Amino acid sequence: MKEACTIDMIRDAAERLSGHARRTPLLSSPFLDEIAGRRVFVKPECLQHTGSFKFRGAFNALAALDSDTRTRGVIAFSSGNHAQGVALAAKMHGADAVIIMPADAPQLKIDNTRALGAEVILYDRASEDRDAIGAKLSNERGLTLIKPFDEPLVIAGQGTTGLEIAEDAAALGVKDADVLVCCGGGGLTSGIALACEADAPTLRVRPVEPEGFDDVARSLRSGGIERNTATSGNICDAIITPQPGDLTFPILHRLCGPGLAICEDEALQAMAHAFLRLKLVAEPGGAAALAAALFRKDDIQGDAVIVTISGGNVDPTMFGRALASLT
């Protein structure tokens, strides 16, 4: 079966993003190497516009729309990083963005999304159907839905992260390494896997999830899409998606090594190490891959490990919890 996203789509995305997305580096610290027992290279997508890789996919999806469609505007459902990515990408294209957010989303994220120029529509999780609200608005205004991961153009945009990893790993002489990716619905992981298949075929891409929310790891083992039983209740909020996507899973299944899972405490400790050794702010879900590199080293292969820090949108209270793990 033909997969939804191809390496050519990722290379097209890289051209669209050039000069608009940040080209993030690969960072390292001898202190992290020491803990991990191998060289650790960190891809800090927390430094991407809006503080997460989500900007890449959103910008690519917006850029690929024909101008009439784009002029009518876009819509997205998100309480988090995708919301901000779509809002800024739309603003940069001069397009209207409507973001449907739950009324109980963190006020800071609502404020940020509005400040980035989006129209935010709040709904009550208990009494209202967000899909119905979205469908009505889309019909009335002719808005185009930008999905968070199960969309070929979004996967392609996230995949540009993988092109950069492949290029920088080659320059550093890194060949025998796992590439650990913080994984929710699998958009970033599948995009990086496709990019590495083409440009760095000796690297092994592997998803990292929170324990208890390891739907992707279980799906990779069983060969079919598995769901999580819980849908909330973990600090790694950015990556507790209920199941892999219909478009992302076939790519993950064909290309990825076994999934890893980390606990909340390991995510907090990884945030603390990113603070101390890299001077980076990671959110809990964004620190999952680093946590696996540091604390699950027996489950990893190779003389080096490459990890994504996928986002840094964390509130001060949660960051304080991470810092407390240092003492």
Instruction: Count CA atoms within 13 Å of residue 112 on its CB side.
Output: 21
CA distance 78 to 50: 14
174, 42 Cβ separation under 8 angstroms? no
Nearest approach, Cβ of residue 23 and a copy of itself (Å)? 8
When the beta carbons of 110 and 260 are compared against a copy of itself, the nearer one is 110
When the beta carbons of 251 and 271 are compared against a copy of itself, the nearer one is 271
CA distance 177 to 169: 9
110, 101 Cβ separation under 8 angstroms? yes
Q: Which residues would be at the binding site for a copy of itself (CB under 8 A)? A: 22-23, 25, 27, 30-31, 34, 44, 46-47, 51, 88, 112, 115-116, 272, 275, 278-282, 312, 316, 319-320, 323-324, 326-327
Can you state the angle between helices 54-64 and 7-17, rounded to 10 degrees?
Answer: 90
Nearest approach, Cβ of residue 123 and a copy of itself (Å)? 26
Give me the amino acid identity at 54: K
CA distance 64 to 22: 19
Strands (E) in 187-270, as ranges, are 204-210, 260-262
The alpha-carbon radius of gyration of the chain (Å, integer) is: 18
Instruction: Count CA atoms within 13 Å of residue 173 on its CB side.
Output: 2
Positive or negative: CA dihedral 168, 285, 207, 252: negative
When the beta carbons of 46 and 95 are compared against a copy of itself, the nearer one is 46
Nearest approach, Cβ of residue 314 and a copy of itself (Å)? 9
When the beta carbons of 114 and 297 are compared against a copy of itself, the nearer one is 114
When the beta carbons of 113 and 228 are compared against a copy of itself, the nearer one is 113
Nearest approach, Cβ of residue 46 and a copy of itself (Å)? 4
Nearest approach, Cβ of residue 99 and a copy of itself (Å)? 16
When the beta carbons of 252 and 268 are compared against a copy of itself, the nearer one is 268
When the beta carbons of 295 and 319 are compared against a copy of itself, the nearer one is 319
CA distance 189 to 150: 12
When the beta carbons of 9 and 294 are compared against a copy of itself, the nearer one is 294
Nearest approach, Cβ of residue 39 and a copy of itself (Å)? 14
Nearest approach, Cβ of residue 7 and a copy of itself (Å)? 26
User: Other CB atoms closer than 10 Å to residue 23's CB: what's the count?
Assistant: 13
Positive or negative: CA dihedral 23, 55, 176, 180: positive
The structure tokens 């191998």 sit at: 38
Nearest approach, Cβ of residue 47 and a copy of itself (Å)? 6
